[in-house]
Amino acid sequence: MNSAAEAETRPWAEQVAADDDRYRTQLAYLFDRSAFYREKLRAAGFASIRAVGGLADIAQLPLTEKREIRATCTPDNPIGAHLCATPSEIVRIYSTSGTTGTPSYIPLTAGDLDNWVTASARSYQASGIATGQRIVTTYNAGPFVAGAALAAFDRIGLCHVPVGTGNTERLMLAIELLAPEAAVLTPSYAAYLVEWAAERNTDLRSSSVQRVLVAGEPGGGEPAFRTMLEEGWGARVTEAMGIGDIGPALWGECEAQDGMHLGARGFVHVELIDPETGTALEVVDGATGELVLTHLQHRAAPLLRFRTRDHVEVRTTSCPCGRTGPRVRCIGRTDDMLIVRGVNVFPSAVREVVSAFAPRVSGHILVRPKAPGVKQEPPLPVSVELAPDAAADAALAEAIRERLRELLVVQARVDLVPAGSLGRSEYKSKLVEH
């Protein structure tokens, strides 16, 4: 097990106390510089910094939604009213893809960028990769914040081999000729490569890659899916997670593989809420809810109680690696969640249940809601792809249906479909047909 840095092993209570000081300073900065938060907090009845209190009182403050920020963008201020820094302080501007076509801009000061790299380096280093090793990456970072995470590999002291997305031959050649110890991919692409290799009788297991670091979408922490990836690659699979507006690799899993540690400790405060009511939930072992994050020492465009739309499960038990603080595993995106007769269902959780039926299934699923919107009437149609040599079999469909009912309390209609008939992705998978 690789050793965690001192900053990551300090008792969590000490971290929270230090974070409380940072939070108060950050709030004073927001009152001073952020037109967006001055107005938002005043409208919520917090006219001054004194009324706001410290971290213990944070749950009384309003949440921040991405669309509120977007609504403040104007031709004169395309970043939004939450912009706090002057143009001369800003050294980089990333963008997020945005579903409406117009990107959201994410500005950073030099200090913000350095903090992002520090946090990302911790998150990735938790995986066990070490100075002097080679790492091949497959992100087309382009305008996206993932670019800042790539700088973390220099910080760790790795030899970074960027190959980008969508050129599998180039990637496999780089692995064969340059012998990297680690590869960074989305879980979907890692799974695609297992199939790609099997179809070409290429032995991925005998490659130099000992660690596969997955990020960019949920899935790397689903036990059955992870097992499939680990067997296919003959490598240890750990995941990392961030959110564009807050930071690129905020969380990273260690070799114990029991949830992601907060690499961004000291930079970000973590809360959990009920996604439907917005009520704060206690961050205790086993709790599930939507992650809400607050910048603690950000300068360019800090966010307060930002809704990430990531639905997570929390672990607070001690970890053998020595890192302290809560860990999370992402169950899915709040946006992908369906409610079937009052029960919350995440497509990634459906995939996890189905994947346990390997080797009879390929692990690919597609949830096909009958009605638009979140609320669905049972049974929920789920297409489950068979493994290449498996035949459709009513007993298998029934067994999957029964397991989904048992574990997720959802009535499903399971349709077995031939191997290769559901879409594959070299980037991120769609688990729901919209």
**Which residues form the interface with Zn ion (CB under 5 A)?**
254, 256, 319, 321, 323
Q: Which residues pair with 280 in a beta bridge?
A: 273
Q: What is the nearest approach in angstroms of Zn ion to the Cβ of residue 8? A: 9
Q: Where is 106: in which H helix or E strand?
A: strand 104-109
Find how far residue 337's CA is from the centre of its chain. Answer: 15
Q: Which residues contact 258 (CB under 8 A, 6 or more apart)?
A: 315, 317, 319, 327
Q: What is the nearest approach in angstroms of Zn ion to the Cβ of residue 321? A: 3
Q: Which residues contact 319 (CB under 8 A, 6 or more apart)?
A: 254, 256, 258, 261, 327
Q: What is the nearest approach in angstroms of Zn ion to the Cβ of residue 36? A: 36
Q: What is the nearest approach in angstroms of Zn ion to the Cβ of residue 254? A: 3
Q: What is the nearest approach in angstroms of Zn ion to the Cβ of residue 124? A: 13
Nearer to Zn ion, 52 or 156 (CB): 156
- B/e letters for 136-160, b = 16+ CB within 10 Å, e = fewer, are bbbbebeebbbbbbbbbbeebebeb
Q: What is the nearest approach in angstroms of Zn ion to the Cβ of residue 125? A: 12
Nearer to Zn ion, 321 or 354 (CB): 321
**406 is written with which tokens?**
């048992």
Cβ neighbours of 107 (radius 10 Å): 21
Residue 45 CA to residue 366 CA, distance in Å, equals 45
Nearer to Zn ion, 254 or 262 (CB): 254
Nearer to Zn ion, 34 or 123 (CB): 123
Task: Kindly state the DSSP code that residue 320 receives in the 8-state scheme.
Answer: T
Q: What is the nearest approach in angstroms of Zn ion to the Cβ of residue 183? A: 21
Nearer to Zn ion, 320 or 359 (CB): 320
Compute the 3-state secondary structure of the chain and give helix, strand, coil in percent, each to the nearest 5. Answer: 35, 25, 40
Nearer to Zn ion, 321 or 382 (CB): 321
Residue 111 CA to residue 109 CA, distance in Å, equals 5
Q: What is the nearest approach in angstroms of Zn ion to the Cβ of residue 191? A: 24
Taking a C-beta distance cutoff of 8 angstroms, is the pair 301, 79 a contact?
yes
Q: What's phi and psi for 201, nearest 5 deg? A: 50, 35
For tokens 């008792």, the residue is: 11
Nearer to Zn ion, 171 or 319 (CB): 319
Nearer to Zn ion, 278 or 322 (CB): 322
Q: What is the nearest approach in angstroms of Zn ion to the Cβ of residue 323? A: 5
Nearer to Zn ion, 128 or 232 (CB): 128
Nearer to Zn ion, 103 or 322 (CB): 322
- B/e letters for 297-307, b = 16+ CB within 10 Å, e = fewer, are bbbbbbbbbbb
Please measure the distance between the N-terminal and C-terminal CA atoms of the chain and give it in whole angstroms. Answer: 43
73: exposed, middle or buried (Cβ count in 10 Å: 0-12, 13-18, 19+):
middle
Q: What is the nearest approach in angstroms of Zn ion to the Cβ of residue 312? A: 16
